[in-house]
Amino acid sequence: MSVETEPAEVPYVDVVVVGAGFAGLRALYTLRECGFTVAVLDESDDIGGVWYWNRYPGARCDVESFDYSYAFSEELEQEWRWSERYATQPEILRYINHVADRFGLRSDIHCSQQVRRAAYDDEAHLWTVQTDTGGHWISRFLILAVGQLSTTKAPDLPGTDDFTGAIYHSARWPQEGVEFAGKRVGVVGTGSSGTQMIPIVAQQAEHLTVFQRTPNYSIPANNAPITDERDEQVKAGYRERRRKALDTPSGLGFTPNKTSALEATPEEREQTFEQAWPTAGFGFVLAFPDLLISQEANDHVSEFVRKKIAEKVRDPVVREKLMPRDHPFGTKRPPVDSGYFETFNRDNVELVDIRKDPIDAITATGILTAGGHHDLDIIVFATGFDAMTGSLLRPEIIGSGERTLVEKWADGPQTYLGLGVHGFPNMFIIAGPQSPSLLSNVLLSIEQHVDWLAALLVHARDHGIEEIEAEAEAERRWVEHVRERAEQTLYPKARSYYMGDDVASKPRVFTPYVGGVRGYRRTLERVVADGYDGFALKERTSGSETSSADAAALAAQGLQTR
C-alpha cells in the first residue's frame, strides 16, 4: 500500500499559553470557560512551574496560604484545607495538581515542550509556536505565563567542572532529594531560598559553610499549623478577605498604618514595629506607609531589624558579618525566615563573607576563597534567577516586521500596562515586567491579569477584532510612568533584581510596577471604560478573514514554515 506524504497537520488553537504554573493553569481554566480553545505548553515534564522545581529543603511560600491560593472558585476555596500558615512546596504542588484534576485541565497541557520560537504573521494575524521537541502550534493569541523567577543563574566560577562532589541549584532540586547527613555542605547565596534552606541543612549536615555576598534583612515567619477554628473563621469570611486584598497596595490584605513613621514618637514607632514584627510576616514592610519612600523613615526600620538580628546571634564577629548596612530595608526582597539567624549559633555552621574574602575558584574538593580552602562534599547554589525578563527573552519571539523581543527590550522592558507590547500584536504577558507582579501577592495579580485578558479576548471575538496591539504612545507613557513611580521610592538605592542587577548584562532599570495592586486595578478599569484605551483593535476585513476554522486551513497551507 502506498502512503501519501501529506504536510504534517499543525494544530490550531485560539490561544497558546506558555507555562503550566499558577498563571498558565488559571489562564487555561478561564479561557476555556469563555469558549476559547487553548494549548498550554511547558518545558517541564509536569505541571507546577516554580513549585515543581523549587524542592529544596525548607521551601515554602512566604505569603499566607489563605492568600496564596486561587480565588476564582468558591468551592475550591472551601474544600481545600491548608495545613500551615505558610504552606510548604509539597503542599502547594499538591494543591496545583488538585486544581488541574478538579477542573479537568490536563488534557490541554503539553509538558516537555520548551518553546524555542514564536513568530507573528502580519498578514494572517496569527502566531506560530515551535518547541524543542518538534511541537508546533498555530494560534490567534499568545500568552506568556512563564513566571518571574524561572530561569536560574549560578556563578561562573573557574574549576566548577573539577569538583568531585555534587553541585545543586536551589531551583533545580532533584526529585529524589539530597542526603546531607555526614556531609560537608557549602551554600552560596543568602536570599529567600538560601535563608529558608540554611537552617534545615545545618540540622542535617555534618558541617555547613554559608558563603554570603550581601547580608540580608529578614522577617520572622512565625509559621504555625492552621487550627480548625482558624480555618473555619477564614472560610466564613473568604469573600471579604479577597475583596479587601484587592483593595490594598500589596494584594496581601495589609493596610498600611495611615501615619508617617516620622510623625510617630520614638515610642509609638517602636511599639508599631514590635507589634508587627512577630505577626505581619512580609507585611512588616508596610508597618508605616513611608518606609520605602523616606530614607529617614527607613533608617528607623532598618535599625529596628538590625537590633532584632543582633539579639539572635551570639558571636560578635559573626553578628557583625550578618548586619545588613548597604541598602535600605525592603529595597531588596526581604526573606521571611524560620530560625535563620539563630542557625549561626550552631557549632557546625560557619559564615564566610565573600565580599571581604572572595571566592577564587572551585576545586576538586571544595571552594577556595582568598582566606583559604573550604572542604566540601556538596555545593548548593542558592544564587537566584535571571529575574522577571529571563524567561520571556529565552525563546526567540518575533513580532511584527520580524523584530525580536530581545531587540525591542535591549534597553529594558517596554510594555503597555505590563500586559501588551507594541510591535507584538496578539501577545500578552501575565504578571510580567511593569505590572505589580513581584511587588504584590503574585497569585492575586495573576488572576487579575487573566480575568482582564479573558474579557479583552471575548470583546475581540464579539466585535470581529482579529488583532490587538499596544499603541506606541500608550506604551511610551506607561514605561515613563513606571520609571517615575519607582524614582519616588528608595528601591533604586539597592542592587537588586528589581533593578536588573541580577545579571551583569542587563540594563539597570526598575522592572516591576510600584503603583500597587489597588492603583493598578483602577488603571485597568479605566482602560476598559475608555474602550480599551491604548490598544489598537483591528477589525477583521473580508480579505483578511481568518476565523478559527480558516486558521486551521491556513496552517496546512504552509504558514508553519515560517
Q: How far is the CB of 228 from ligand NAP (least distance, A)?
A: 25
Backbone angles phi, psi at 558, to 5 degrees: 110, 5
Cβ atoms within 10 Å of 81's Cβ, excluding its own: 10
| Nearest CB to ligand NAP, comparing residues 90 and 558 | 90
Q: Which residues are near ligand NAP by CB under 6 A?
A: 60-62, 149, 155, 170, 188-194, 196, 213-214, 333, 354, 382-385, 438, 497, 502
Encoded amino acid at 384, one letter: G
| Nearest CB to ligand NAP, comparing residues 118 and 382 | 382
Nine cell digits for residue 40: 498550554
**Residue among 194, 258, 181, 256 nearest 54 (CA):** 194
What's the rounded Cα separation, in Å, for the pair 261 and 251? 22
Q: How far is the CB of 306 from ligand NAP (least distance, A)?
A: 17
Residue with C-alpha cell 534545615? Answer: 200
Q: How far is the CB of 382 from ligand NAP (least distance, A)?
A: 5
Alpha-helix runs per DSSP H in 182-339: 192-204, 228-236, 238-246, 266-276, 295-312, 316-321
Closest residue to ligand NAP, based on beta-carbon distance: 191
Residue with C-alpha cell 489598537? Answer: 536
Alpha-carbon dihedral of residues 103, 106, 107, 108, nearest 10 degrees? 100
| Nearest CB to ligand NAP, comparing residues 447 and 466 | 447
Question: Do 550 and 281 form a contact (C-beta atoms < 8 A)?
Answer: no
| Nearest CB to ligand NAP, comparing residues 198 and 264 | 198
Counting beta carbons within 10 angstroms of the beta carbon of residue 384, is it exposed (0 to 12), middle (13 to 18) or buried (19 or more)? buried
Q: How far is the CB of 161 from ligand NAP (least distance, A)?
A: 17
Q: How far is the CB of 383 from ligand NAP (least distance, A)?
A: 4
Q: How far is the CB of 91 from ligand NAP (least distance, A)?
A: 13
What's the rounded Cα separation, in Å, for the pair 151 and 497? 13
Alpha-helix runs per DSSP H in 421-471: 442-462
Q: How far is the CB of 327 from ligand NAP (least distance, A)?
A: 9
What's the rounded Cα separation, in Å, for the pair 281 and 337? 9
Q: How far is the CB of 453 from ligand NAP (least distance, A)?
A: 23
Nine cell digits for residue 397: 519571539
| Nearest CB to ligand NAP, comparing residues 219 and 555 | 219
